[in-house]
Structure 1
Amino acid sequence: MDYGNTGSGYMNASFDGSNKTSSTPHTRRPMGEQTLRPVTVKQIKTCSIPQDQTFKIDGSDVTQTTFIGVIRGIQELQTNYVYTIEDGTGAIEVRKWVETNETPEEAEARRLLMVDTYVRVNGRINSFGNRINIVCHTMNPITDFNEITYHLLDTIETHLKFAKPSSSSAMDIDTGSNKPKAITDHVTEVIEEFTHTTEGCNVEHIVFKLKGKYTEAEIRETIEYLENEGSCYTTIDSEHIKSCAPN
């Protein structure tokens, strides 16, 4: 998804409010400096701030963020505008510096940023006086309100990837149909290959068949879950599983 004029989820340069860009643009920055992470206001305001001023969300470094909210207040200062933006999880101050050589088009775009307007903000997490705020890189009004839903889904997916990395392995793309498949579907498919037999499927066979996709621990946990759900049962011993589906 395009989060701004860059055409990708990456920022071309760090923005610190001083209207300066890096003098060595080809120097590779740390991942937290490069990626533009979708977040909520609550995630921003509750991020951890180690002594080296490296902000962390879900235990991962992050500086550049993107979020959607409603402008609830605007404070006009001599060198910058301070917007109070709220997204349902909290409110945060977003500081947007005024360009000294602002073009008529830029001035018109700024006038569209009015109170009660939904906007997407791309910016950098900043802390001053132990107070978290955002130094704005771009701020644009939302024209398609489906973007709000897309952003929330994107935020949830990203949070799960960082907070529960093992859960990402629970989803796999079936290249035949392009339909996401859960680990429960994959394990069930292997078990059902032995529906015609009396003893059912050996757990070791499932582990071998799905090697590279999931760990043995994940597979055994899934089998236990399927048993509790009544989808399968043990036969001659605890290592042989049979599907409850009809032959």
Structure 2
Amino acid sequence: MNFGAYGDAGASQFGGGGFMPSPAPGHDNQYGAGGGGQQKGRSQNNSLRAFTIRHLLKETANVEDDRYKADGHDITTVTIVGKVTSYREQSTRVLLQLHDGTASMEVCSWVDDADMQAQKPIEWQVGRYVRVYGNLKTFEGKRSITAFAVKPVTDHNEVTYHFLQCVMQHLHLTKGAPPTGQPLAPGKAAPYGSTPAATAPYGAPGGGYGGAAPAAAAPAGGDIHSDLKAVYNLPHATAAPNGLSVEAAHAELQRMGRAHYNLQQVMQACEYLAAEGVLYSTVNDTTFKSTGA
């Protein structure tokens, strides 16, 4: 699958053990500084990191002025993806309220007359998903983002990709580099992200992409919503471009020993999870894929 431009800021930025530096500001740079997004004298050696809004609000420390830390590291340029829930247009700026399923945050984008005459108000209308690049700010105890780039999300896979990127970067900083895939020595604990099946040869039961997928284990004491969340996060469900149909999810539930759920209950539960931001519909109204939330 071609993830387009948003795939460029993925795992490759950790190839050298650090962050991908953000490009220098300029008119020809889509990630450069806009009207109010870059301060004079600020270091140009910035880093770009993906966040959920809740992480920015609850787990990021304001150490001094506009300097912030997350997971023990300084952060400068951040990117978030969310749905526009409020749009306010003023003479020199546009104020957006974004919700990504974890929390809500205000985004300020400074604009000029040319921007106002362009299609930005259309691209940023309420109900649409956008990706924001900018700097975290705090004013009167309220955190917000001053954006220098707000881009519409045209492929909903970008939403899932963003959440996965947030998890990967957080684990990289708190747990170390991802596993290399080398067999573990006897008695040695597996690093984060690996499972015992990861050390089995390809083609063996449960070992790698060539092996047969084992039946999913039923979550202990789960209800239909937690059961369906487990189903849609199965490896073959997340790998499928369009996710799973309601019928396929119903079949997976039966394999898990949840035969008491009927098809109508599964459909209603999927619609509920979609409204909660856990699933999203793909090719039709009865086929869903996990957002990773």
Query: Shorter-chain TM-score: which interval?
Result: 0.5 to 0.7
Q: Which of these residues, 214, 222, 230, is aligned with residue 189 of structure 2? A: 222
Q: CA deviation at 1:103?
A: 7.5
* Equivalences for residues 36-185 of structure 1 within 5 A: 36-46=48-58, 47-102=60-115, 104=117, 107-165=118-176, 168=177, 171-172=179-180, 181=181, 185=183
Q: What is the distance in 2 between the residues matched to 1:136 and 1:5?
A: 20
Q: Is the 8 A contact 1:120 1:139 kept in 2?
A: yes
Q: CA deviation at 1:36?
A: 1.1
Q: CA deviation at 1:59?
A: 1.4
Residue of structure 2 equivalent to 1:18? 36
Q: What is the distance in 1 between the residues matched to 2:144 and 2:36?
A: 16
Structure 2 SS opposite 1:55? strand
1:150-182 CA-partner distances (Å, limit 9, x unpaired): 1111110000111223xx2x601xxxxxxxx16
Q: Return the letter of the residue paired with 2:111.
A: V
Q: Is the 8 A contact 1:41 1:91 kept in 2?
A: yes
Q: Return the letter of the residue paired with 2:53.
A: V
Q: What is the distance in 2 between the residues matched to 1:82 and 1:63?
A: 21
List alignment gaps of at least 5 residues for structure 1: 173-180, 189-219, 224-228, 230-247
Q: What is the distance in 1 between the residues matched to 2:100 and 2:116?
A: 30
Q: What is the distance in 1 between the residues matched to 2:140 and 2:174?
A: 28
Q: Return the letter of the residue paired with 1:171.
A: P
Q: CA deviation at 1:109?
A: 3.0
Taking structure 1 as reference, are residues 3 and 72 closer, same or farther at Cα in structure 2, changes over 3 Å only? same
Q: Return the letter of the residue paired with 1:135.
A: T
Moved over 3 A (4+): 1-6, 14-23, 27-30, 100-104
Structure 2 SS opposite 1:186? coil
Q: CA deviation at 1:129?
A: 1.1
- How does the TM-score come out when normalised to structure 2? 0.51
Q: CA deviation at 1:17?
A: 4.7
Percent sequence identity over aligned pairs = 26
Structure 1 SS opposite 2:64? coil
Q: Return the letter of the residue paired with 1:18.
A: G
Write 1 or 2 for the structure with the bigger share of strand.
1
Q: What is the distance in 2 between the residues matched to 1:135 and 1:125?
A: 7
Q: Is the 8 A contact 1:15 1:135 kept in 2?
A: no
Q: RMSD over aligned Cα, in angstroms?
A: 3.1
Structure 2 SS opposite 1:187? coil
Q: Return the letter of the residue paired with 1:151.
A: H
Residue of structure 2 equivalent to 1:191? none
Q: Is the 8 A contact 1:17 1:135 kept in 2?
A: no
Query: Which segment is superposed worse, 128-137 or 44-53?
Result: 44-53
1:116-153 CA-partner distances (Å, limit 9, x unpaired): 10111111111111211000111111111111111111
Taking structure 1 as reference, are residues 95 and 28 closer, same or farther at Cα in structure 2, changes over 3 Å only? closer
Between structure 1 and structure 2, the one with the greater Rg is 1
Q: Is the 8 A contact 1:54 1:62 kept in 2?
A: yes
1:10-49 CA-partner distances (Å, limit 9, x unpaired): 23236475376758xxx9644xxx1110110011112100
Residue of structure 2 equivalent to 1:187? 185
1:88-132 CA-partner distances (Å, limit 9, x unpaired): 11000000112144485xx21332210010111111111111211
Q: Is the 8 A contact 1:38 1:67 kept in 2?
A: yes
Q: How many residues align?
A: 171
Q: What is the distance in 2 between the residues matched to 1:17 and 1:3?
A: 23
Q: Is the 8 A contact 1:71 1:86 kept in 2?
A: yes
- How does the TM-score come out when normalised to structure 1? 0.60
